[in-house]
Amino acid sequence: MRKISQQAAAQKEPGKRLLRLRVNGETKEVAAETSKTLLEVLREDLGLTGTKHGCELGECGTCAVLVNGEPVLSCLLLGVESEDGEITTVEGLMRDGRPHPLQRAFADLGATQCGYCIPGILLTAKALLDKNPRPGRDEIRQALSGNLCRCTGYTKILQAVELAAGRGEAQ
């Protein structure tokens, strides 16, 4: 069967456009509906399902990704609005096939229960540690205040970010 290009596919379907996104250091081209949020484009068109779908109202932080190093709620941003930024999702946290220091710290402390909130929390914590490698407990709590967890009491999550910071490898 002859392969149809993404561009041709976008032109054939009204409401779709060829998006060119930089995700986890790679350029991705996808024919996607212009009304789709970045969250939907990541999950449904790029298959990056690590970014979780929560409230869709900007209230839970589950969908957080980094755009140019800043945490962004991907449910509140259109895919077409994201073409100029460097996007990092949880799939992009591994380095040379090894988990990010934050991921190791969360695993070491058992700070994850169902895990649904954790991708957004990891990315928000990464943005914090990139700016402030030695945050205090209150600074961590403040940075993560927009990330809701339905499972834990937050204590282990805060401890895990502190552990990663204390190990000094998280930058």
Contacts of ligand FES in 69-88 (CB under 6 A): 73, 75
Measuring CA to CA, which residue among 144, 88, 98, 100 is closest to residue 121? 144
- Are the C-beta atoms of residues 165 and 134 closer than 8 Å to each other? yes
- Of the pair 4, 55, the CB lying nearest ligand FES is at 55
Q: Which amino acid does the sequence have at 82? A: S
- Of the pair 16, 52, the CB lying nearest ligand FES is at 52
Structure tokens that stand for 88 in this block: 């990092």
Residue 131 found at the interface with ligand FES (CB under 6 A) = no
Measuring CA to CA, which residue among 72, 67, 96, 90 is closest to residue 169? 96
Among 4, 94, 151, 155, binds ligand FES (CB under 6 A): 151
Among 23, 30, 38, 60, binds ligand FES (CB under 6 A): 60
Among 4, 8, 107, 114, binds ligand FES (CB under 6 A): 114
